[in-house]
């Protein structure tokens, strides 16, 4: 499944500019250090963190996309930095738990 397919199926909102790519799994954490230690290339990273430090962490791990849950507002500086590095920043109003259920229902889980 690709990022753009997920955007359409779940109703995610694209915030940054990015190239579509495959999604292989899901990683959930609000701690950047957790992501750097445990996420895998191709994962979706689900978080409520919106500060610009999420972009270098996402780039380092090579996640497919960062999904900001619970309707959190993302600062423009985070979106601009993500666009610069071709990192997909997506958002959704759902709480993380509900989004995990939807992703699992689509066949995605921990990679």
End-to-end CA gap in the chain: 13
Does some domain include residue 110?
no
CATH code at 56? 3.40.1390.20
Cα separation of 14 and 4, whole Å? 9
pTM (global) more than 0.85: yes
Run of H or E residues at 83: helix 76-84
Cα separation of 21 and 34, whole Å? 23
Q: What is the pLDDT of residues 49-91, one digit of tens each?
A: 999 999 999 999 999 999 999 999 999 999 999 999 999 999 9
Does some domain include residue 79?
yes
Kindly report the backbone phi and psi dihedral angles of residue 68, in degrees, each rounded to the nearest multiple of 5, phi listed first.
-90, 120
As for how many domains the chain has, the answer is: 1
Does some domain include residue 19?
yes
Beta strands 88-91 and 25-28, pairing class: unpaired
Q: What is the pLDDT of residues 23-56, one digit of tens each?
A: 999 999 999 999 999 999 999 999 999 999 999 9
Q: Which domain covers residue 79, as residue numbers?
A: 3-105
Beta bridge partners of 91: 13, 68
What's CA 4's distance to the chain center, in Å? 12
Does some domain include residue 17?
yes
């Amino acid at each position: 499944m690709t990022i753009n397919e997920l955007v359409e199926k779940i109703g995610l909102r694209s915030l940054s500019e990015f190239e579509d790519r495959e999604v292989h799994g899901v990683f959930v954490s609000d701690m950047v250090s957790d992501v750097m230690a445990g996420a895998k290339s191709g994962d979706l990273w689900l978080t409520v963190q919106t500060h610009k430090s999420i972009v270098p962490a996402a780039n380092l791990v090579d996640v497919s996309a960062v999904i900001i849950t619970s309707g959190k507002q993302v600062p423009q500086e985070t979106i601009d930095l993500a666009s610069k590095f071709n990192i997909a920043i997506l958002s959704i109003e759902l709480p993380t738990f509900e989004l995990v259920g939807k992703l699992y229902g689509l066949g995605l889980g921990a990679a």
